[in-house]
Amino acid sequence: MSGPIAEAKQFLRDLFDAAVAAADPARCLPPFLPAPPRGKMVVVGAGKAAAAMARAVEKHWQGALGGLVVTRYGHGVACDQIEIVEAAHPVPDDAGLTAASRILELAQGLGADDLLLCLISGGGSSLLTLPAAGISLADKQAVNQALLRSGAAIGEMNCVRKHLSAIKGGRLAAAAAPAQVVTLLISDVPGDDPAVIASGPTVGDPTSFADAREILRRYDITPPETVRAHLAAAAVESPKIGDPRLVDCVTHLIAAPQASLIAAAQAAEAVGMQALILGDAIEGEAREVGLVHAGIAQACARHGHPAAPPLVLLSGGETTVTVRGKGRGGRNGEFALGLALALDGNERIFALAADTDGIDGSEDNAGVLVTPDTLARARRAGVDPMASLAGNDAYSLFAAVDDLVVTGPTLTNVNDFRAVLIL
Amino acid sequence: MSGPIAEAKQFLRDLFDAAVAAADPARCLPPFLPAPPRGKMVVVGAGKAAAAMARAVEKHWQGALGGLVVTRYGHGVACDQIEIVEAAHPVPDDAGLTAASRILELAQGLGADDLLLCLISGGGSSLLTLPAAGISLADKQAVNQALLRSGAAIGEMNCVRKHLSAIKGGRLAAAAAPAQVVTLLISDVPGDDPAVIASGPTVGDPTSFADAREILRRYDITPPETVRAHLAAAAVESPKIGDPRLVDCVTHLIAAPQASLIAAAQAAEAVGMQALILGDAIEGEAREVGLVHAGIAQACARHGHPAAPPLVLLSGGETTVTVRGKGRGGRNGEFALGLALALDGNERIFALAADTDGIDGSEDNAGVLVTPDTLARARRAGVDPMASLAGNDAYSLFAAVDDLVVTGPTLTNVNDFRAVLIL
């Protein structure tokens, strides 16, 4: 296949690859490695990218090191000196609990000349689960579920989590004192706040036990008795910003959605294509976000606003899918199908939507491509696009027209990536 | 009230007023008035702005004129020479049917020296209802309802409508031949296609009876027998583009969403504020469109993309609301509440969302204003913002914080207007 459609698809794929490459630990981590300490170098970490980050550390580190990181099942890579543990995500299992406990012990064993290098990425919150003494995992999860149902904001949920944990909310860094602590972060959250990513195990906590109790009251949540007693006792407060135990802590954001969008924009501009970044934290119901992107793209084509074609619109962030049907596909497929239906065959517009972690939902594809004839080709293949969307079955449609983007797990995660090309 | 918050609110209100003013027939119509004909000048028209358009014609026309326009109940204004009829919208009534019939007769009575001036605006489709001979209004509406439920595209619905009508799809202009026909349009539809607005009564029809039959087949719609027989007989095809009866027809778009957004952008730039138009036809579920606007605004605030603050983002088009609760409010209120919840008190962001026709849904307000403390003030007033959104009750929330935008009917309509100010 060749010609302008193939060229447009290849261009979009190149942009996606540039976005993922910018977040690849092998590339973005080495510049942030600290100087070797006089004492021991211990590496810990958690997240979907933790093993890939550990490997990048090993490859570029001069001297001895050891440690342990926990990543999701299937996200491990071979390391020589750092132990890689795989555990369950998003619901924690015993493997994760044991790993978190061992990570805390590693930190507690350090002295003033030692260095704790902490590798944190998306998914780290559930992979690094360690309930505070006296609280069972089941009780902690019951509170978590109640918070999720309550409509509490993410900041409020994190406050409660940090006060039910033995390792989050700066507790890991406090345990490592007086050692130096360097945290390398890959962000997949809006705002890239280090205190939010994986509930900030090495970052001073702006919240308190009193806040946590107030949040449960606000949302009328009656916690299990062990949790109530723990919050009431307020025995070991999380370390605050300015806590002397956190003096020797630094945090570097080594990859983030915006940085990957900028890398994609630069890749576009390198071949003479203008790029407009709409935002790195665009959220909402996937098909509706697709509609809005279509509206903006059509305004470019028709009026030259917000920018005149040819250009590519870029956006990141995590959409959601309200599942109503029994079909296959993730949020990027659903975004793309909503977009394609709204564009209705516009001959000047192409798109790619994919998850930078390489897996859109639970299928084998990272995402999908949209061309002007996507709907027409789907219908010729016997697929009704409206019915596909109604049935949450975008994967099947894009598979039928052979426009899946397949990468396999990328071992990093800066959330979703979308590119809409207007010629 | 004064200070920066009051200033920001006034600024946003000024932009809305500029957008509405740009679509006010008194202002946008006169430049498009044709030269007086040698014979008679007859004015006809339909739509929410039809009476205001007729008044603008009367005020600026040199010489005699007569005619009849039909507008929505409550949208009439006093005219001296042009008869104003009010009728039901969106479900047609007898007043509308009679008016449409009389309008067709007026056109049929014209000669080669005469001029038919046709004034069309949003709502004109249902206000200008005249079923083809042999079809009852009930049968026509049954097909219409079936099409709405079928998921057919707007172009497909219009094709069927045009072939069940005695006046649409260019039939009004054909009836006026050999007179000159000048159509002045106010658009509230994406793409501003004259063949789409009010189903194009004076515009050549690209579709045919065969197309209409095929569309009913495609969506598995079994029409009433009168409709089936009419479509099968295909007795009087709609005039096509290039039809000799349409040779002396011209159409001018005198107001449109994009033109109003540009007017608002110019008003912003006149006081030194950068403006970025995101699109004039942004569609989608209102609260989700609010979320996406919030994401773009926060990207501006945080990263300077797609543009660096201070700036105002502008958009138009019609969102939709899936009603689940029993609250009060239109789509602009719901958009704004979704936006406010996503912004969560961001101190640098303000917004206005309103319907340019002056009525957001069925309440007495055109729209609402969002300030950084909207949610906090609502909570102090005893209103839970999350519950308001869940109950489709945005009107009550914005009423409680005294941030309704009230204009009364503006007698024009270029769809919704949204402005998000990032300082």
- Each residue's pLDDT tens digit, A355-365: 999 999 888 99
Last residue of a domain, one of B236, B255, B274: B255
Q: Same domain for B294 and B213? A: no
The pair of three-digit structure tokens given for residue A100, joined into one six-digit string:
């978190």
Strand partners, B67: B43, B82
| B276 near A CB under 8 A | yes
CA-wise closest residue to B169 among B117, B245, B232, B105: B245
Mutate to test the interface with A, among B148, B193, B269, B305 (most CBs of A within 10 A): B305
Cβ atoms of A405 and A367 within 8 Å: the answer is yes
Quote the pTM value. 0.92
Pick the residue from chain A with its C-alpha nearest to B298. Answer: A279
The verdict on B200 and B264 lying in the same domain is no
Which tokens in the block code for residue B407?
């204009």
Check pLDDT > 60 for residue A1.
no
Contact (Cβ atoms closer than 8 angstroms) between residue B311 and residue B11: no
Same domain assignment for residues B233 and B347: no
Q: Touching check for B95 and chain A: CB below 8 Å?
A: no
Pair B159, B281 in one domain:
no
| Residues A179-207: tens digit of each pLDDT | 999 999 999 988 899 988 888 999 999 99
Q: Which residues of A touch B285 (CB under 8 A)?
A: 285, 288
B419 min Cα distance to partner chain A (Å) = 14
- Residue A105: pLDDT above 60? yes
A261 contacts in chain B (CB < 8 Å): 305
Could you tell me if B47 lies within 8 Å of chain A, comparing CB atoms?
A: no
* Identity of the residue numbered A200: G
User: What pLDDT band is residue A2 in, cutting at 50, 70 and 90?
Assistant: low
Structural tokens at position B301: 């605030």
User: What is the pLDDT confidence band of residue B360, given thresholds at 50, 70 and 90?
Assistant: very high
Look at the block and give the residue holding tokens 């101190």: B347
Q: What is the pLDDT of residue B361?
A: 87
Task: CATH number of the domain at A355, please.
Answer: 3.40.1480.10
| Chain A residues with beta carbon closer than 8 angstroms to that of B261 | 305
Across-strand partners of A93?
Answer: none
> What CATH number did the domain enclosing B138 receive?
3.40.50.10180
Residue A89's pLDDT is what? 87
Is the CB of residue A156 less than 8 Å away from at least one CB of chain B? no
CB contact under 8 A, A281 and B299: yes
Q: Are B374 and B403 in contact (CB under 8 A)?
A: yes
Contact B58, B65 (CB under 8 A): yes
**Contacts B311 to A, Cβ<8 Å:** none
Q: Is B292 on the interface with A (CB under 8 A)?
A: yes
**CA-nearest residue of chain B to A344?**
B153
Contact A122, A189 (CB under 8 A): yes
Residues β-bridged to residue B369: B352
Pick the closest to residue B195 from B248, B238, B228 (CA basis): B238
Dist. CA A361–CA A55, nearest whole Å: 26
**Interface touch A292/B295, C-beta < 8 Å:** no
B/e letters for A85-111, b = 16+ CB within 10 Å, e = fewer, are bbbbbeebeeebbebbebbbebbeebe
**Mean per-residue pLDDT of chain B:** 94
Mean pLDDT of A101-126: 95
Does B1 have pLDDT greater than 60?
Answer: no
Is the preceding omega at residue A30 within 30 degrees of 0, hence cis? Answer: no
CB A314 within 8 A of CB A277: yes
Q: Is A306 on the interface with B (CB under 8 A)?
A: yes
pLDDT > 60? residue A314? yes
Q: What is the pLDDT of residue A126?
A: 87
If pLDDT is split at 50, 70 and 90, which confidence band does A156 have? confident
pLDDT band, residue A238 (cuts 50/70/90): very high
Task: Compute the distance between CA of residue B15 and CA of residue B268 in angstroms, rounded to an integer.
Answer: 7
**Averaged pLDDT, B253-261:** 97
Q: A236 and A324 share a domain? A: no
How do strand B349-355 and strand B416-422 relate by DSSP bridges? antiparallel
> How far is A104 from A99, CA to CA, in rounded Å?
9
Total number of domains constituting chain A: 2
Give the residue from B201, B231, B255 where a domain finishes.
B255
Are A224 and A281 within one domain? no
Q: Is B52 on the interface with A (CB under 8 A)?
A: no
- With a CB cutoff of 8 Å and minimum separation 6, the contacts of A332 are A286, A319, A353, A354, A355, A360, A361, A366, A367, A368, A416, A418
pLDDT the model gives residue A66: 96
Cα B138 to Cα A226: distance, rounded to the nearest angstrom: 67
Q: B191: which chain A residues are within 8 Å (Cβ-Cβ)?
A: 302
Q: What is the amino acid identity at position A322?
A: T
What distance in Å separates residue A280's CA from the closest CA in chain B?
6
Lowest-confidence pick of B113-127, B147-161, B313-327: B147-161
- Taking alpha carbons only, the member of A218, A197, A196, A209 closest to residue A151 is A218
Report CB contact under 8 Å: A386, B151. yes
B150 contacts in chain A (CB < 8 Å) = none
| Domain of B147, in residue numbers | 25-255
A54 in helix, strand or coil? helix
Q: Which residue of B has its CA nearest to A284?
A: B288
Secondary structure of A256-288 in HEC code, one letter for each residue: CHHHHHHHHHHHHHHCCCEEEEEECCCCEEHHH
- Is residue A100 located within the same domain as residue A243? yes
Give, in degrees to the nearest 5, the angle at Cα B273 between B268 and B279: 60
Residue count of chain A: 423
Query: What is the model's pLDDT at position B260?
Result: 98
Tell me the β-bridge partners of A68: A44, A83
Exposed, middle or buried, A242 (CB in 10 Å: 0-12/13-18/19+)?
exposed
Tens digit of each residue's pLDDT (9 = 90 or more) over B79-100 = 999 999 999 988 889 999 999 9
Domain co-membership, B94 together with B225:
yes
Here the tokens at position B232 are 């099968």
Q: What are A167's two structure tokens?
A: 């390792």
- Give the end of a domain, one of A227, A255, A283: A255
A307 and A385 share a domain? yes
Asked whether the beta carbons of residue B284 and residue A288 sit closer than 8 angstroms, the reply is yes
A124 and A272 belong to one structural domain: no
Q: Collect all residues with Cβ–Cβ distance below 8 Å to B302 and sequence separation of at least 6.
A: A191, A258, A280
Beta-carbon separation of A306 and B258 below 8 A: no
Alpha carbon of A2 to those of A8, A9, B99, B310: distances in Å? 10, 10, 57, 44
Helix B225-233 with B137-150: angle, nearest 10 deg: 90
Instruction: Give the whole-angstrom CA distance, residue A186 versus residue A194.
Output: 9
If pLDDT is split at 50, 70 and 90, which confidence band does A157 have?
confident
The verdict on A288 and A236 lying in the same domain is no
Task: Report yes or no: B94 and B103 within 8 Å, Cβ to Cβ.
Answer: no
Q: Considering chain B, what percentage of its residues have pLDDT values greater than 70?
A: 100
Summarised one tens digit per residue, pLDDT across range B371-387 is 999 999 999 999 999 99
* Amino acid type, A251: T
Do residues A166 and A189 both lie within one domain? yes
